[in-house]
Structure 1
Amino acid sequence: MNAPDVRLRRPDEADAPALAALMAANWEFLAPYGSAPARPHTAEREAERLRQQLADPTAWPGVIEVDGVIAGRMNLHHILRGALQTATVGYYVAEEFGGRGVAKAALAQVLDVAFGRLGLHRLEAGTLPDNLRSQRVLRACGFEEIGLARSYLLINEEWRDHVLFQVLAHA
């Protein structure tokens, strides 16, 4: 089996119907990890969400494509400038694309964006303690585990612990 052609790009409003459909199809798969909203978005709601993300100077939204098909999202959030020069990366890959190296390939591309085009110094990421697949992806891309954050993120109305990771531009 050939490796998939993975491309990370900035979204636009025309992507909203495909992103809403992808989330609806994968809602049950993603909801336990906090990667899904309380309920799947409509195309109109997804378009509004994209407009907000694209206008936010503290974010860099991305769409993951596999062989030309939208397969997930990879976003930089909480971009901080000044002395810190950091951001948080968050992502999801649709269930049907899992286990094919898609997240790893997209994460490598977002590292190029963060440390190249955006000139950041550090990226952080967090996973639920039992999300071993995502932890393997982060480690494979050079992230190091830095600790456990207790009650870090509200997921499905429950404060959940997260394992935190970081990677530096010039480690």
Structure 2
Amino acid sequence: MNGSAHSTPSVLYINLKRGPAGLGFNIVGGVDQQYVMNDSAIYVAKIKENGAAAQDARLQEGDKIIAVNGRLLENLSHSAAVQLFRTAGEDVQLCVQQRQYLSQQNGPFGSQSDGDSSSSFNTQTMITLVATAALATVVGILVYKRLRGPRSPF
């Protein structure tokens, strides 16, 4: 153990009023575009400056959106989630699980908001590099163990 404490993710209920630029954030994820491996949830990709989400200041990049106006977002395609946000009305209640481990700089590749889209080549490249490095590490360990052969406990 390294002495670090594990914390339970915080769940927030955030009410946003749609402004001229929508709700002011972009999303990523869905059953067809998983952002986190083996997780089809919808995540906040980017908070737009001066948008409704930025003015509220509680929603953060990397937060998982659990529900919109009481409608759970589980098992939705990305486009279905975008459509849900677009048709959510002027006053929108979000149920959000705050991020714990996702670190983002510019938002993920291919994220979409409630009215437009943005992308970040740098983030997608970083995700690909990290995944490749992890795979290379595992393969390297397996090859090393095979070449080393069985060892005596002495």
* CA radius of gyration, larger in: 2
Give the structure with the higher percent helix.
1
TM-score category by the smaller chain?
Answer: under 0.3
Q: Which has the higher contact order (CA 8 A, sep 6+)?
A: 2
TM-score by length of 1: 0.25
